[in-house]
Amino acid sequence: MNALKYKIIMPSGLVFDFTNMLGEGRLQPAEVEQALQSQGQEANKAVEKIRVEGIAKNHLSKDGQPEHVYFPRMPYVADGNPNTEESITKLIRFSKALRKQDAVVFLGVGGSYLGNKVLFDAFGGLHWNGNRILRQGQPRIYFSGNNMDPVDCNSLVFELQRLQAKGEICNKRLKVMLIPISKSGTTLETISAFTYFYDVLSKEPNIELDCTVVTDLRADVANAPLLQLAEKFGWERFDIKEGIGGRFCVMTDPGLVTMAALGSDIEEFLRGAREMDTYCKNAPLEENPALLNALLKFMAYKRGSEIEVFMPYSMHLKSLSEWYVQLLAESLGKRYDREGNLVHYGRTPIVAVGTTDMHAQTQQHQDGRRNKVVQFLEVANPADEAVIHNPFPDVPYFARFEGMNMNNSLKAALEANEAALTSDNRYSARYIMPKLSEYFLGQLMYFLMLSVAYEGELADVDAYDQPGVEVYKRIMKEKL
């Protein structure tokens, strides 16, 4: 075995630095190396079997039937995979067609919302809807159906009405596209919001309404309400593939429709994921970043680190933390292992963003219970820079800000936070993206999915079901 590398630099330049997971009061190199050769070896074999066969040990659907696990096939565009040449071409055509729309409203919850919001925040962001130059002909983008909040729904209706009233469009009628995303077509939050918006907006004389549905296209139409509507009205439709759980679906139609609306590079996003998968499956165990990430956090969990704080130092990536919360919580938060033993496994994920939460959460991270791993994420070369010049020369205090580069200050804040935790022998790790692009986001998001798959094997839990979610759904349906 080669010397275990706790700082792995990918050929792309993406860096995974796990150095601070080891040290006094933390993990020791000898025990990690031993675990890698035993448990890590077995986890690696199990994930490779999933890649090849599409089958995970003892995994069943919510109906108790055998169900494939096909997320490792998402990056590879080929017939029979979740993404094909035909499906990518269809998405690219859809992207061009959406340029005729003034606004697109995505309606989804859970995996049908969180991954899409990551893509929007990364490549659109706060100013997308108000900046025609930024949009370059693509439509305004909104999200709903992720919470049954009447105030939020009505606020969006008001915003669409305002666009028409203020003459912020070129057409006499505002063109709005509703896109509900639901595999069953019966997801309560999504279908409630879709029904509400369709009813209200279709009655507006100055709004021209169209719809596209994203659902299971293989379902029995008699039991698939979105498919029934698509057939009745001739709406465009995209597929939710079998074997791709909601929290993994961002690299298939349910997520890629948002990239289409943004006009972003779908093929680069998938290329990043594909190169990450290829690297991990071909690398020696000690150089596989996804396996090492899973093993170190699994071992830290066994020593009491039951909380993981995911902390990007970029406002554009705060929603990545929120997506990761679902990925980690639903995948690994399990009552039983795959043999039926009571284990109550899983870390609690926490959303944070630097530097904001250095003023909110860091006190707890630094001085609170020693039960956390803090996962930092840095963007080495952000798209923009901001250099401060002193507009108040008569006030001596402000002289210190002359020439300050905000990006350098942001990096210094991350390094200070990291150093403070290390000085108290607390667990942390750092991922470094060279820049925020479709390629690097594809690499990182797929890395996180693959890490969860490895940890599921290490913990011997089903990382692809969600029985706890089904409990509240059943009770809620009874109440309604």
134-153 CB burial, b ≥16 within 10 A, e <16: ebeebbbbbbbbbeeeeeeb
Q: Which two tokens stand for residue 408?
A: 């350098």
- 3-class DSSP assignment, residue 359: coil
Fill in the DSSP letter of residue 39. I
Q: Give kind and range of the element (H or E) at residue 324.
A: helix 318-332
Instruction: From 238, 209, 244, select the one nearest 94 (Cα to Cα).
Output: 238
Beta bridge partners of 273: none
Q: How far apart are CA 453 and CA 206, in angstroms?
A: 49
Q: Is 111 in contact with 189 (CB distance < 8 Å)?
A: no
H/E/C letters for each residue in 427-440? EEEEEEECCCCHHH
**Omega before 348 within 30 of 0, i.e. cis:** no
**Number of Cα atoms under 13 Å in the Cβ half of residue 470:** 8
The set of residues, in sequence order, having a beta carbon less than 8 Å from that of 86 and lying 6+ positions away, is none
Q: What's the rounded Cα separation, in Å, for the pair 405 and 301?
A: 38
Rounded CA-CA distance 438/266 in Å is 7
DSSP state of 143: E
Among 364, 275, 258, which Cα is nearest to 311's? Answer: 364
Q: Which residues are catalytic?
A: 330, 359, 473
Q: Taking the CA of residue 425 as centre, how many other CA atoms within 13 Å lie in the half-sphere pointing to its CB? A: 6
* Phi, psi dihedral angles at 11 (to 5 degrees): -55, -30
